[in-house]
Amino acid sequence: MADPNTHKPFTNAVQETGRTAVEKYIGESDVSEMKVLNNNIDALLIFAGLFSAVLTVFVVPSYLLLQPDNSQLTVQLLAQISAQLAHFEIIPPFIASDTSASPVFQVSTSARWMNCLWFLSLIFSLSSALFSILAKQWIGEYL
């Protein structure tokens, strides 16, 4: 006997109807969608890893801008010692010298902003990688 709507003969297999058919269809749809999401997250993880590596290349030298330059500090200290030696006066019972305060190192505003932005972008990149790994684990458990 043939189905009047499709003009195909019925098969002997039991056709699923109702709730079981809906569950099967949704289950298949979920599995295929989760596989696509899993592949997309893989691509995003690769991008986040490469982006973090490139950011690290920029963070390392810019971080040095937040610290005083040791060679410049050495030159300043030697100049201060030389100036103190030039102004020694021998007054018994002690030796007095004219001392001036050494300049205090201050970080420029642009260096602060630049480092803040570099570190924020690195934190966001690593955070996205962490959440991607958590999402992949959840997808694995879901499947």
Q: What is the pLDDT of residues 37-50, one digit of tens each?
A: 989 999 999 999 99
Mean pLDDT computed over 116-136:
93
20 band by pLDDT with thresholds 50, 70 and 90: confident
Residues sharing a CB contact under 8 Å with residue 12, sequence separation 6 or more, in sequence order: none
Give the span between the Cα atoms of 102 and 76, in whole angstroms.
8
106 band by pLDDT with thresholds 50, 70 and 90: confident
What is residue 94's DSSP assignment? E
Helix orientation angle between 109-142 and 19-63, rounded to the nearest 10 degrees? 150
Q: What is the pLDDT of residues 64-83, one digit of tens each?
A: 888 877 787 788 888 888 87
CA distances 62 to 36, 109, 112, Å, are 39, 13, 9
User: Is the pLDDT confidence value at 12 over 80?
Assistant: no
User: Is the pLDDT confidence value at 6 over 70?
Assistant: no
The domains of the chain are located at 19-68+105-142
- What pLDDT is stored for residue 91 in this prediction? 64
Higher-scoring residue by pLDDT: 61, 5? 61
- What pLDDT is stored for residue 105 in this prediction? 74
Burial class from Cβ neighbours inside 10 Å (0-12, 13-18, 19+) for residue 17 reads exposed
pLDDT averaged over every residue in the chain: 80
Residues sharing a CB contact under 8 Å with residue 37, sequence separation 6 or more, in sequence order: 135, 139
13 band by pLDDT with thresholds 50, 70 and 90: very low
Q: What is the pLDDT of residues 81-98, one digit of tens each?
A: 887 777 766 666 665 555
Q: Which amino acid is at 126?
A: L
State the alpha helices, DSSP H only, in the chain.
19-63, 70-86, 109-142
Q: Is the peptide bond before 93 cis (omega within 30 degrees of 0)?
A: yes
